[in-house]
């Protein structure tokens, strides 16, 4: 791995401003090549407790600093992230696999949360309320919730950290973060830059380790952790909720998705195909908001399928560090096996394969970009999130039919629709049971929009002006005069 600044490649955990090697190590591999790129500290519950100790001490002083002081440090952190964007993207691509161009986009996207919440820190305001009694004055204060635990996934190893950590530290909280064991190097590089920016010791602690259940349990069991924030599967989210119930922690959960993408017969077909490609094949389909079920109105179904298949065949697959590559590898063999299972199940139940459908000739965990038609609701892919480069096309007859099929899921994170009819735009957006609806576009994420889902897709919102509220408590003050 060639970096302009090799010191960004940290392999030890970061606790209370110190880099801890620990007694054990675990290997981080490049999913494109299978090569070991680093051996990282493998910490456990004892070190997590030490990190919580440090965060509790640091938070007391951090919360006393003015919002302007916190914002200035965060602005310096943002500047350093952007100045080192090239190296951060190389680290990200090497450990996660996504194409370098996408990795650079993620670095900028991740940095935007640091920038945004540095500004939002100075806009945390209470209220003076109207009182029904002349001898009292009523006030509300917004105060930091305290120390929070964060557990982040491998598919966006920079953005999922900054989207959680930035609002928390802007609000005056401190954190203990467990990054995914597949992608710890991006997290440690962010910690290195935060330290250079002047973030006080103990405000952000990064605990790397292979035993995620034990680390999560320790965070949930400790009463001093007042909030848990997690991005990952619904199954693990439920476990964290149960484990946190004893101390009644505040929860932010961004869980599983099963995103529908609806294409109506009045849509701009070129725009719809482009949007579907952006949504479906970004990060090799390994995002919670990738279009998992593509519903196309019967009158344009064949034309859409043909155009989508042609665009899919043209995708360049390979090592994300190679120029021109548009799709990298699947993160691991477990992810690859799920994709194969979904494709085999669909074809076995009558789906038609237009392109792809099998592991790529490159070997390893590469999989061919795939388009399936004639999909039905009895296939596994309709209920389960594939998390891979498989575009599955379902046919619908009318608007009511499309909405019913889209909402027929336990999940409700993101949905997409393509139409040139303004009335339909509003009708369908309001009827879809999803926390995010993107209209006539395949990409919607930014630091300005609130990110989060309904139903089994989670609780709370990240990003936007609402994101910092997840790390604040409202205190009511009644003053007699």
323 burial type by CB count under 10 A (0-12 exposed, 13-18 middle, 19+ buried): exposed
Cα distance between residue 321 and residue 324, in whole Å: 9
Rounded to the nearest 10°, the torsion over CA 152, 154, 157, 162 is -20
**Which residues, at least 6 apart from 101, have a Cβ–Cβ distance to it below 8 Å?**
none
**Which residues, at least 6 apart from 336, have a Cβ–Cβ distance to it below 8 Å?**
330, 359, 365, 367, 388
The 10 Å Cβ neighbour count of residue 425 is: 17
Question: Which active-site residues does the annotation give?
Answer: 254, 288
Q: Please report how the helices 100-120 and 159-171 are oriented relative to each other, as an axis angle in degrees rounded to 10.
A: 10
Q: Encoding tokens for residue 397?
A: 């007859």
**Which residues, at least 6 apart from 207, have a Cβ–Cβ distance to it below 8 Å?**
13, 15, 43, 47, 48, 51, 176, 177, 178, 215
Cα distance between residue 325 and residue 319, in whole Å: 7
Give me the phi and psi of 188, to 5 degrees please: -70, -35
Cα distance between residue 56 and residue 453, in whole Å: 30
**Which residues, at least 6 apart from 213, have a Cβ–Cβ distance to it below 8 Å?**
none
Cα distance between residue 384 and residue 235, in whole Å: 13
Cα distance between residue 175 and residue 426, in whole Å: 40
**Which residues, at least 6 apart from 179, have a Cβ–Cβ distance to it below 8 Å?**
152, 157, 161, 186, 187, 206, 208
**3-class DSSP state of 152:** coil
Cα distance between residue 182 and residue 8, in whole Å: 18
The 10 Å Cβ neighbour count of residue 207 is: 28
Distinct helix (H) and strand (E) counts, the chain: 14, 22
């Amino acid at each position: 791995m060639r970096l302009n600044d090799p010191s960004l490649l940290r392999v030890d955990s970061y606790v209370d401003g110190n880099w801890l090697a620990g007694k054990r190590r675990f290997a981080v591999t490049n999913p494109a090549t299978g090569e070991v790129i680093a051996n990282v500290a493998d910490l456990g519950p004892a070190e997590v407790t030490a990190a919580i100790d440090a965060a509790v001490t640091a938070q007391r002083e951090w919360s006393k600093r003015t919002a302007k002081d916190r914002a200035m440090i965060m602005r310096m952190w943002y500047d350093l992230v952007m100045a080192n964007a090239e190296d951060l993207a190389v680290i990200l691509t090497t450990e996660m696999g996504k194409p370098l161009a996408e990795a650079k986009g993620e670095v900028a996207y991740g940095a935007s949360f640091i920038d945004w919440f540095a500004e939002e820190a100075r806009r945390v305001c209470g209220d003076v309320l109207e009182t029904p009694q002349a001898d009292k004055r009523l006030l509300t204060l917004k105060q930091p919730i305290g120390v929070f635990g964060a557990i982040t996934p491998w598919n966006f190893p920079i953005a999922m950290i900054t989207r959680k950590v930035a609002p928390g530290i802007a609000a005056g909280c401190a954190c203990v973060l467990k990054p995914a064991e597949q992608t710890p190097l991006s997290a440690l590089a962010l910690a290195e830059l935060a330290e250079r920016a002047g973030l006080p010791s103990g405000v952000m602690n990064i605990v790397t380790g292979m035993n995620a259940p034990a680390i999560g349990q320790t965070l949930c069991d400790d009463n001093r952790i007042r909030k848990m924030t997690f991005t990952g599967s619904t199954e693990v989210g439920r476990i964290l909720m149960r484990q946190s119930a004893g101390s009644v922690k505040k929860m932010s959960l961004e869980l599983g998705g099963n995103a529908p993408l609806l294409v109506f017969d009045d849509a701009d077909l070129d725009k719809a195909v482009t949007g579907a490609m952006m949504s479906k094949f970004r990060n090799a389909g390994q995002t919670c908001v990738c279009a998992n079920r593509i519903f196309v109105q019967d009158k344009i179904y064949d034309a859409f399928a043909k155009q989508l298949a042609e665009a899919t065949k043209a995708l360049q697959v390979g090592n994300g560090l190679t120029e021109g590559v548009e799709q990298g590898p699947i993160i691991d063999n477990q992810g690859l096996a799920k994709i194969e299972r979904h494709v085999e199940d669909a074809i076995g139940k009558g789906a038609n394969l237009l392109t792809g459908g099998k592991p790529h000739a490159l070997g390893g965990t590469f999989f061919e970009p795939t388009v399936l038609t004639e999909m039905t609701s009895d296939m596994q892919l309709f209920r389960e999130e594939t998390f891979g480069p498989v575009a599955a096309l379902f046919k619908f007859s009318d608007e009511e039919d499309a909405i019913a099929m889209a909402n027929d899921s336990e999940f409700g994170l993101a949905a997409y629709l393509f139409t040139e009819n303004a009335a339909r735009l509003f009708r369908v957006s309001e009827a879809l049971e999803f926390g995010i609806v993107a209209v006539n576009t395949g990409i919607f994420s930014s630091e300005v929009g609130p990110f989060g889902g309904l139903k089994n897709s989670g609780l709370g919102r990240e990003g936007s002006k609402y994101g910092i509220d997840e790390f604040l408590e409202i205190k009511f003050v009644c003053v007699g005069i």
